[in-house]
Structure 1
Amino acid sequence: MEVASRHVLLCVIVSLTAHGIGAEKVLVVPPAISGSHWFPLASVGQALAGRGHEVTVVVSQDIVAKRRTERPQLRFESFLDQGSSARLEAKTGQLSELSNKSMLYIAQRLQGSLKDKALHCDLLLGDGDLIERLKQARFQVVITEPFISQCGAIVAAHLGVPHVALLRHDPTGLDYQATGVPRPPSYVPSTMSSFTDRMTFLQRAQNFVVSCVAPVVFQWFVENMHYDQLRKYIGEEETLVGVLAKTDVWLYQMDPLLDLPRPSMPNMVNVGGILAREAGPLSEDLELFMQSSGSAGVVVVSFGSQAKTLNPERAEVMAAAFAQLRQKVVWRYVGEKPAGLGNNTKLMAWLPQNDLLGHPKTRAFVTHAGSNGVYEALYHGVPMVCTPLGADQPGNAARAVSRGLGVRLDFNTFTTETLYQAIMQVLTDKSYQETAALLSRLHRDQPQSPMERAVWWVEHVIKHGGLPHLRARAVELPWYQYYLLDVAVFLLGVCSAVLGTVWYSCSFVCRKVCCKSGSKLKSQ
């Protein structure tokens, strides 16, 4: 036992000294909503804790006990958030209900969510005892997820600590402004659209309008949400873009295989598939169920943590389609058991999605096309039937389909027959299996796993106390200098002066010639 303990200690020391740093203090500030937004942050924090770092997470008081049970390797600080995070959880848990609502209804829900996010941030920053404890801890880096709310970035700036952002995307577009990276709408689709990099003229026109208008609208809401916090905790003249521009590294949960090539800066690092890993063993009863499928295999069905309940009518349609399959079905489902549920279908309130997708019996994945699930399916080479509900899911589904990873259905209109046919298509058409296997090999063929790369960059920031040399000068330029409008005006003036001089000179010469010719004619 003593020898084993020494061996483990030696491994930890070697792994830490390989990057030239010791055990350091890391602060994680997750967004008010959890689920798919919490898992990547928690996993990175756990990976850092596994390398000997002291990782502290700030969460609301009502979930701190749950988080401590889930992640015993992490430390937790808590504050009273007056139920704001619970209200946000309830709203995001009803995501499937928004898919057929009007834009006005969705806008009202968004406004209510922003109020809860603002309150959550106000209460976090306004907890003097908490902030004092965080200051006294002297953290070396703060890791956040800047999804619409930028509370974590404000906390990092208030503490004066280097900041690392881990995100899928930011619909506000503030990340692009803060990094100065161009985003040409001619081939970079908006994150809220279902376009790919091969757009028709009308799609490019629509993408241009959405790429220009949506960030302005979102930014107006977000900047107003954080206006008082910036002035109270950072400075009277500070802006949200200015705070975000100090971010040392942006870790994007993206991979060009699915999210398409696009411009980036040196401090923008792709870590798409950060949660995907080799499949672990299943529980005994679940393994028996998988093995009972025989050669037909299993279809995994999950609509993620943000859609805990489904419309009963939609659930009946899905249950009837699954009942027709030869395959066994594992379905993450919370709610009343559908009347038409087949004997081949197993309902689970929670399922080990990554481990199921990596199981040799899994043949297909029916999903809402959330980014975590899509990347786990890519990693394990499982074709998909995508039925997106909202947010970035239509775009994820469109790009997965464009790569040949599966098919897409409209969640509100598919029938039992169309869902059944879609599942059978990805099960029987070998091209989907072959494409999924090929893309899986490409995705896995990296010098570092996405998680290893994320941890390396966080430790790189810790080691050097920040990476300001990676930030582009573009952020500091006024808009007219960024777009070279001053140069364009200068060159236009020079060209105008030259052309004016030439025109005047030619006119002057012509007049002189004409005058001499006229004098000669008169003398004759």
Structure 2
Amino acid sequence: MKILLEALHSQSHQITVLRSSTSWYVSEFSPYYTSITIPQEQPQNLESQAAMTSFLKRSMEIRRNRCSVWAFFEFYRTIFNLFGESQQDVAKLVVCIFENKTLIRELKETGYDLFLTDPAFPGGVLVAHYLKLPLVFNVRWIFSGEAHFAIAPSPLSYIPVVFSYYSDKMDFFQRVSNIVYHSILVYMYHYVSNPPYQAVCDHYFGSNVSTMSLMQRADLWLMRVDFTFEFPRPTMPNVIYIGGFQGKPSQPLPSDLEEFVQSSGEHGVIVMTLGTLLSDLGPEVSETIASSFANLPQKVVWRHIGKRPTTLGNNTMLVEWLPQNDILGHPKTRAFVSHGGTNGLYEAIYHAVPVLGIPLIFDQDDNMVRMRARGVAEIVEVTTMDVDSMTSALKNILDPEKPYKENMIKLSQIHHDKPIKPIDSAIFWMDYVMRHKGSAHLRTESYKLPWYAFYCLDLYYM
């Protein structure tokens, strides 16, 4: 979101950000926007480092038994608890906004042209409706799963559901499983995610308004993927694909890092990072990874938080922070070891760097399945990997006789071969919505149909 705000600001737009008082990653002060802070008693669990560390630990326990029936139900129970609590917190935050009559009056009197929000936690959807503003999403996920399922035909025969870990090539039993996974997400929507927001809708808008219907009537969906990454699927005119919008040319590295990278010689460098929230996997996994790196001729730059592994080789530099985009774009970078977050994968595509995935939580497994299907990545299971399997996977990725690098170069070329950069497309379409005060002409009206009319069941009855 910060990247979009910076781009809007560069076009002389004036931006106001609504943030909670407990947010640690949405700064109260910025040269790009002014902020309005909404009091919140406690942070959402997804905004807490401690909560995410605890969730990661629990997820890894479940992954160790991932083939058991117990693990299947425990996985979804944990997900439901995590997201259910967060959705309740966001719904309470919306009520705080609605009950602050002074704030609401100021927001209405300011005369905003657009409301931009991420609908994974759809508090912004309700606020936009309350203020009667054109609505634009920066989106990949909504509170019931992947965003396309809310607005576009999504046949389960070839469109895998999140947490299925399938590609778009499914056999009979995988298609059966895909339907089961989809049914669980439908259950989550009706009984976990939606009830807190539906209570707000009932109170402030009336029982004939639902959060899902408000989302489906959004003017524009800026989708944070494109079809170099995502599997082909039906879509809608008001879905604009901006996958890789954060991509940019690399900048020179800090002198100490550049010196280390240059010392790699012809073998090059491996980059490893597991993101901001998931940096410490514990000593056992860290020792395995360190030993694997020590077996390689390449140098390694590893963003590592926690105790220094005793098996760390002389070829590995540990850092608490690294300029990920800049080092991925360095000509000596040979491979990227990642948890499979979308931003990092798109940076790898932008700079044509093959990926070894160690997926941990949320959509990371599904992301890595998409990369593996493109022939640009391999996956190792964090709970079963040992030094030999990790080393073997790395050598496969690095082997010039294997097609990973060649495939990634081709994928990168496809990603770059566009008439307009993704970030410029995002800005154009937001300006478009502001110029025309919405884009209802791009939106299907199917969301207004009752379910039986949508499926023409009333015709069959006649």
TM-score under structure 1 normalisation? 0.81
The separation in 2 between residues aligned to 1:311 and 1:116, in whole angstroms, is 30
SS at match of 1:43: helix
Structure 1 residue aligned with 2:435? 463
The separation in 2 between residues aligned to 1:358 and 1:326, in whole angstroms, is 20
Structure (1 or 2) with the greater helix fraction = 1
Q: Relative to structure 1, is the Cα distance of residues 388 and 171 closer, same or farther in structure 2, using a 3 angstrom cutoff? A: farther
Structure 1 residue aligned with 2:420? 448
User: Identity of paired residues, percent?
Assistant: 34
Whether the aligned pair in 2 keeps the contact of 1:174 and 1:241 (CA below 8 Å) is no
Whether the aligned pair in 2 keeps the contact of 1:64 and 1:76 (CA below 8 Å) is no
Q: Relative to structure 1, is the Cα distance of residues 452 and 110 closer, same or farther in structure 2, using a 3 angstrom cutoff? A: same
Post-superposition CA distance 1:80-119 (Å, at most 9, x none): 2112247732323445321333334444444433343334
Q: Does 1:301 align with 2:272?
A: yes
1:201 pairs, out of 151, 172, 177, with 172
Post-superposition CA distance 1:109-142 (Å, at most 9, x none): 4443334333444444444444333223221001
Structure 2 residue aligned with 1:487? 459
Whether the aligned pair in 2 keeps the contact of 1:331 and 1:346 (CA below 8 Å) is yes
Q: Does 1:339 align with 2:313?
A: no
| 1:187, distance to aligned residue in structure 2 (A) | 0.6
Whether the aligned pair in 1 keeps the contact of 2:273 and 2:279 (CA below 8 Å) is no
2:213 pairs, out of 221, 242, 245, with 242
The separation in 2 between residues aligned to 1:66 and 1:209, in whole angstroms, is 37
Whether the aligned pair in 2 keeps the contact of 1:385 and 1:422 (CA below 8 Å) is yes
Whether the aligned pair in 2 keeps the contact of 1:164 and 1:251 (CA below 8 Å) is yes
1:256-267 equivalences under 5 Å are: 256-267=227-238
Whether the aligned pair in 1 keeps the contact of 2:163 and 2:366 (CA below 8 Å) is yes
The separation in 1 between residues aligned to 2:6 and 2:217, in whole angstroms, is 25
Q: Relative to structure 1, is the Cα distance of residues 380 and 94 closer, same or farther in structure 2, using a 3 angstrom cutoff? A: farther
The separation in 2 between residues aligned to 1:362 and 1:99, in whole angstroms, is 29
The separation in 1 between residues aligned to 2:133 and 2:425, in whole angstroms, is 21
Aligned-partner residue type, residue 265 of structure 1: M
Q: Does 1:59 align with 2:59?
A: no
1:223 pairs, out of 191, 194, 217, with 194
Structure 2 residue aligned with 1:83? 42
Q: Relative to structure 1, is the Cα distance of residues 226 and 120 closer, same or farther in structure 2, using a 3 angstrom cutoff? A: same
Post-superposition CA distance 1:255-303 (Å, at most 9, x none): 1122111011111111111212211222222222221211111101011
SS at match of 2:36: strand
Whether the aligned pair in 1 keeps the contact of 2:148 and 2:235 (CA below 8 Å) is no
**Pair member with larger Rg:** 1
The separation in 1 between residues aligned to 2:440 and 2:26, in whole angstroms, is 37
The count of aligned residue pairs is 447
Whether the aligned pair in 2 keeps the contact of 1:302 and 1:368 (CA below 8 Å) is yes
Whether the aligned pair in 1 keeps the contact of 2:145 and 2:162 (CA below 8 Å) is no
Structure 2 residue aligned with 1:14? none
The separation in 2 between residues aligned to 1:48 and 1:297, in whole angstroms, is 38
Whether the aligned pair in 1 keeps the contact of 2:80 and 2:188 (CA below 8 Å) is no
Whether the aligned pair in 2 keeps the contact of 1:400 and 1:406 (CA below 8 Å) is yes
1:81-480 equivalences under 5 Å are: 81-85=40-44, 88-90=47-49, 91-97=51-57, 98-101=59-62, 102-103=74-75, 104-147=77-120, 149-170=121-142, 172-173=144-145, 175-176=147-148, 178-179=150-151, 181-428=152-399, 429-480=401-452
Aligned-partner residue type, residue 42 of structure 2: G
The separation in 2 between residues aligned to 1:323 and 1:204, in whole angstroms, is 42
Whether the aligned pair in 2 keeps the contact of 1:95 and 1:306 (CA below 8 Å) is no
Aligned-partner residue type, residue 112 of structure 2: F
Show structure 2 runs of 5+ residues with no match.
Answer: 63-73
Aligned-partner residue type, residue 232 of structure 2: P
Whether the aligned pair in 2 keeps the contact of 1:177 and 1:241 (CA below 8 Å) is no
The separation in 2 between residues aligned to 1:128 and 1:310, in whole angstroms, is 46
Whether the aligned pair in 2 keeps the contact of 1:88 and 1:113 (CA below 8 Å) is no
Moved over 6 A (4+): none
C-alpha RMSD of the superposition: 2.1
